[in-house]
Amino acid sequence: MGDTIQSLSSAGGLAALANQVGRAGSTQSSYNKPQLISNIPEVVRQYTQETPELANVKIRMDPRTPGAYLPGSDTISLGAVDPAILAHELGHARNVRQAPLYRTLLGITGSLADVNRTIALPTMLALRAFVGDQQRRREVLNILAGVSAALAAPLLVEELGASVDAVRNVPDKIEAIKTLLPAFAQHTLAATMPMSIYQVGKFI
């Protein structure tokens, strides 16, 4: 398989992609849609026509995830054959490549959000145990919920934008929505989990 997005414009590149997905054991994934593989060159054409430098984004197979853009190595990781997933990750690649400060913002808020997800429940329980004043505890939890929302917002805006752009650029828009809407719901659930924990903590 070629090592750049541009390779997926050719029949040989598509065949290599399908072969790599099969060898990686991802063919049973609900995200894998080999019947739509012929739409992938059109997705590549749309994005590289708008942003030619995307043709040089590297590509690799990783069965652990349907798709991901890795800014550090400028690589799209694919674990399934699905034009909508490729389009979504190309949207991330374009956004991050064109705005270095935006990339930095996403990196910082993403890292802090990961930490927040880890500590949200212990923090809420610690406040419950050690802050006896209910009003004071609620004030602190409100602040933490607000901070959590602020940390989640950049990621959710980016995910929504990449998904909307993907639907715009794929030939089969209904299939794209069926793929990307549940994925966005999962992102939203994970991103807002700390905020939910802090809000629940006000009432227990």
Residue ending a domain, choose from 36, 65, 98:
98
Same domain, 77 and 111: no
> Could you say which of 98, 125, 141 is where a domain stops?
98
* Neighbouring residues of 110: CB distance < 8 A, sequence distance ≥ 6: 154, 155
186 and 144 fall within a common domain: yes
Q: Taking 80 as the threshold, does the pLDDT of residue 24 lie above it?
A: no
Assess whether 106 and 169 both reside in one domain: yes
Judge if 58 and 143 occupy the same domain: no
Q: Which domain holds residue 159?
A: 100-201
| Tokens coding 176 | 């794209």
Tell whether 22 and 63 lie within a shared domain.
yes
92 with 104, same domain: the answer is no
Q: Can you tell me which residue has the tokens 């930095």?
A: 104
Task: Write out the H or E segment, with its range, that includes residue 145.
Answer: helix 134-169
Beta bridge mates, 58: 4, 75
**Mean per-residue pLDDT for 48-63?**
92
Domain boundary among 81, 98, 115: 98
Question: Quick check: 5 and 55 in contact, CB under 8 A?
Answer: yes
Reduce the DSSP state of residue 59 to 3 states and report it: strand
69-112 pLDDT, tens digit each: 999 999 999 988 999 999 999 999 999 998 889 999 999 999 99
Of the candidates 63, 152, 144, 148, the one whose C-alpha atom is nearest the C-alpha of residue 106 is 152
Residues 109 and 94 in one domain: no
Global pTM reads: 0.90
pLDDT tens readout for residues 118-131: 999 999 999 999 99
- DSSP letter assigned to residue 191: H
* Co-location of 10 and 84 in the same domain: yes
Count H helices, E strands: the chain?
6, 3
Residue with tokens 């939203």: 188
How many of the other CB atoms lie within 10 Å of CB of 13? 20
List, in sequence order, the alpha helices (H) in 34-133: 40-50, 83-98, 100-130
What pLDDT score does 8 carry?
93
Residue owning tokens 């949200």: 120
Whole-angstrom CA distances from 43 to 3, 85, 106 are 17, 10, 25
Quick one: 10 and 50 in the same domain?
yes
20 residue type, one letter: Q
Looking at the fold, whether 53 and 79 belong to one and the same domain comes out as yes
Q: Same domain, yes or no, for 124 and 81?
A: no
Per-residue pLDDT reduced to its tens digit, 135-174: 999 999 999 999 999 999 999 999 999 999 999 999 999 9
Q: Are residues 24 and 74 in the same domain?
A: yes
Count up the domains in the chain and report the number.
Answer: 2
Cβ-contact 161, 153 below 8 angstroms: no
